[in-house]
Amino acid sequence: MVKIWSVVTVLAASALLAGCGGGGSASTEAPAAPRAAPELTKPCTLLSNDTVSKVFSIKKIASAEKPPVNTPNGRANYVCEYRAQNGPLGTLLVTVTDSTVSPAQVAKAWQKLPAAQPVPGVGDAAIYSVDQAKRVAMLAAAKPAQGKTVAMIFTGSPKITQEMLSTLVKEAIGSV
């Protein structure tokens, strides 16, 4: 898991050196009752254990927030680790920044990752990457939220499929 942490931190730091941002979308549906904005510094609240359990087909999942990891540019990365009884399943990393750069620009920075592929339908911009040498798969997405830009990365074993990662990141980024 140490390799995953270092990869995640480096990826988030390099992708967010400039910050990120973007616009919203219109809806013709009646507005839902207002809900409290999620606490972006509490990443375990953004992705439920139930969803992780279903994606991995494992009944008992535990999640634990880890201390924030600071990037070289001074941004805090908030970390939640998901585990099964037999070991780690993956890590969700959340980075919050100002809205001076679009999610598309953040995704362009993520394009430098090994075998990076754009992923439609997850946040405003998303990238999937597998680095077999470092034994890590990840899906990263960014979108504007709460007047800031939020970037989320879920990393885990390269055995985790793009579809699995998409489901996880879509719930997490959709909750903000």
Higher pLDDT, 25 or 43: 43
- How far CA 171 is from CA of 6, 75, 93, 148, in Å, comes to 24, 23, 14, 18
Domain boundaries, the chain: 2-19+38-174
pTM of the model: 0.78
Q: CATH topology for 2-19+38-174?
A: Protein Transport Mog1p; Chain A (3.40.1000)
- What pLDDT does residue 13 have? 40
Alpha-carbon dihedral of residues 77, 80, 83, 89, nearest 10 degrees?
A: -50
Taking only the tens place, the pLDDT of each residue in 100-137 is 877 888 788 888 887 888 888 888 888 999 888 888 99
CB 22 within 8 A of CB 148: no
**Count of alpha carbons within 13 angstroms of residue 118, beta-carbon side:** 11
CB 147 within 8 A of CB 164: no
Query: ∠ CA 68-121-59 to the nearest 5 degrees?
Result: 60
CB 137 within 8 A of CB 158: yes
